[in-house]
Amino acid sequence: MNHYEELGFAKVDHHRIKRKGFPEVIYCPGKTTKQIVEIAKSINKKKHPVLMTRASVEVYKAVKKALRKATYHKEAKIITISKTIPYTPNPKPCLIITAGTADIPVAEEAAVTAEFLGIKTERLYDVGVAGIHRLTQNLDKLEKAKVIIVVAGMEGALPSVVGGLVEAPVIAVPTSVGYGANFKGLSALLTMMNSCAPGVAVVNIDNGFGAAVMAHAIIR
């Protein structure tokens, strides 16, 4: 028996929620609005919660017309429908940190995804190495976290700093924020991959979603 639904242009994986603890997620870029709506309807029909990433306002309007319970998280560019995944029992939160204000959209993708996945989250934004006192004055939040997601562009140094201060695993997210030699996030990615701090893992550039899913796997 197939555990997916054949739509012609997509095979919707309805078994994923049993394997991973959450349903298939819809990545919107590269798909037509009609395709996105049909995939969302397929997942919703199974009474599974729906998450759509990198969604534009235009896509949201089309989804909202077909599925009235849709909610748009503008800064994260995420659409959610019927968040029903129960919270993962854990007294400690996933702390999401940004180096700068410009990194917040990627951090919000991580935060909204984590909350959708049932993870208790806290945010600590704009505490990068250019003013490290902003981070050190919030050490109590770092020490209370179960997992820490650190989102940073420019040279990407912040995850190493955090990783050297805490016991919790650190998931580093390089962003494409920065000037020319940042190479659209490549310099931050390489810095994070070469971190000398133990317990730091790295996801792809601007991949807040991937960081949240990894945090969910660690906490779960």
Q: What percent of the chain has pLDDT over 90?
A: 77
Residue 1: is its pLDDT beyond 60? no
User: 170-174 and 147-152 as β-strands: parallel, antiparallel, unpaired?
Assistant: parallel
Across 48-67, average pLDDT: 94
pTM, 2 dp: 0.91
Structural tokens at position 35? 């395709």
Across 95-111, average pLDDT: 97
As annotated, the residues of the chain forming the CATH 3.40.50.1970 domain(s) are 94-219
| Beta bridge pairs of residue 151 | 98, 173
Q: What is the pLDDT of residue 88?
A: 62
Phi and psi for 202 in degrees, rounded to 5?
Answer: -125, 135
Residue 134 to residue 146: CA distance in whole angstroms:
21
Across 84-92, average pLDDT: 67
Q: Which region among 28-37, 79-88, 90-99, 203-212 has the lowest average model confidence (pLDDT)?
A: 79-88
Residue 53 to residue 41: CA distance in whole angstroms:
16
pLDDT, tens digit, 9 for 90 and up, residues 152-184: 999 999 999 999 999 999 999 999 999 999 999
Residue 142 to residue 146: CA distance in whole angstroms:
9
Q: What is the pLDDT of residue 46?
A: 84
Phi and psi for 81 in degrees, rounded to 5?
Answer: -135, 125
From the CB of residue 186, how many other CB atoms can be counted at a distance below 10 Å? 15
Give the architecture-level CATH label for domain 94-219. Answer: 3-Layer(aba) Sandwich (3.40)
Task: Tell me the H-state helices in the chain.
Answer: 16-20, 33-45, 57-66, 104-116, 133-136, 139-144, 158-163, 186-193, 208-219
- Tell me, what amino acid is at 95? L
Residue 24 to residue 18: CA distance in whole angstroms:
11
Q: Which three-class secondary structure state does DSSP give residue 82?
A: coil
Residue 171: closest CA among 157, 191, 151: 151
- Contact status, residue 49 vs residue 86, Cβ threshold 8 Å: no
